[in-house]
């Protein structure tokens, strides 16, 4: 059986930490009198913390010094981490464990490719860290998606050709990054948003063994 690289984004793919990011960013925005709504949070998917802050400041036409930005970035991360304290296995999204176990049983390469700088503690708290052969997160890369650096690095560490790699993503930027890297892109979420993906599923519960088998043998 051929060995492929299966690369997973974290937020919105393995676990739903988007809600915690939203609460932390909303707290910052509120302190700056910026009306930050759930639909605005879509703009931050797959985007680095620094770029996310710039987007929020842009929504409120707020100018800030680098010193102020640094202070808000630290505050946002502290608030976000406080929400993660009570995370456990129940936070893993539907169908994810089934797919991870299947890929492990089939001796496939499994990697995380995420902009999050808190990926390891999140995977540990939710009990899925041991499934991953390689973890590439925001601490390991300098370019944010849609730059494909995070996925290319994951494939390289797995010693698998990018063209033999499959990416699971819930963001437009992530899908674009996978496509730029000439990897198979699998969107997890809404078809209207992720229409650039090669395949789209509402969540992992809709992905079966036959589909995974077809990706391995393709």
Mean pLDDT of 59-67: 96
Residue 88 a catalytic site member: no
Mean pLDDT of 50-66: 96
Residue 9 a catalytic site member: yes
Joined together, the tokens standing for residue 175 give 């899908």
Largest distance between two CA atoms of the chain: 56
Catalytic residue among 11, 86, 147, 161: 11
Provide the whole-model pTM: 0.86
Query: Is residue 105 over pLDDT 70?
Result: yes
Residues 6+ positions from 88 with CB-CB distance below 8 Å = 125, 126, 127
Q: How far is CA 25 from CA 11, 99, 119, 138, 157, in A?
A: 15, 31, 18, 18, 33
Partnered with residue 169 across adjacent β-strands are 187
Verify cis geometry, omega within 30 degrees of 0, for the bond prior to 146.
Answer: yes
Residues 6+ positions from 86 with CB-CB distance below 8 Å = none
Please report which confidence band the pLDDT of residue 1 belongs to, taking 50, 70 and 90 as the band edges: low
Contact call for residues 109 and 216 (beta carbons, < 8 A):
no
Joined together, the tokens standing for residue 53 give 């802050």
Percent of the chain, pLDDT > 70?
99
Mean pLDDT of 178-187: 98
State the pLDDT at residue 43. Answer: 87
- Owner of token pair 């063209």: 163
Within the chain, residue ranges assigned H as helices are 18-31, 38-41, 49-59, 66-84, 96-105, 119-125, 149-158, 172-180, 209-217
Among 1-5, 22-26, 174-178, which is the least confidently predicted range? Answer: 1-5
Higher per-residue confidence, 46 vs 32: 32
Contact call for residues 122 and 15 (beta carbons, < 8 A):
yes
Mean pLDDT of 132-144: 94
């Amino acid at each position: 059986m051929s060995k492929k690289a299966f690369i997973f984004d974290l937020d919105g793919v393995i676990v739903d930490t988007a809600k915690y990011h939203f609460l932390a960013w909303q707290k910052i925005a509120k302190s700056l009198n910026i009306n930050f709504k759930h639909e605005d949070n879509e703009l931050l998917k797959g985007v680095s913390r620094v770029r996310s802050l710039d987007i929020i400041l842009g929504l409120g036409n707020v100018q800030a010094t680098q010193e102020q930005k640094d202070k808000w970035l630290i505050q946002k991360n502290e608030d976000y981490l406080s929400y993660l304290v009570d995370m456990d296995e129940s936070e893993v999204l539907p169908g994810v464990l089934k797919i991870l176990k299947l890929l492990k049983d089939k001796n496939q390469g499994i990697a995380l490719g995420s902009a999050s700088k808190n990926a390891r503690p999140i995977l540990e708290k939710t009990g899925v860290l041991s499934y991953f052969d390689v973890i590439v997160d925001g601490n390991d890369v300098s370019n944010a998606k849609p730059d494909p650096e995070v996925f290319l690095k994951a494939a390289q560490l797995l010693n698998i050709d990018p063209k033999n790699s499959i990416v699971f993503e819930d963001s437009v930027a992530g899908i674009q990054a996978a496509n730029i890297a000439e990897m198979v892109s699998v969107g997890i979420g809404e078809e209207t948003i992720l229409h650039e993906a090669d395949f789209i599923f509402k969540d992992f519960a809709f992905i079966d063994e036959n589909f995974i088998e077809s990706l391995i043998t393709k």
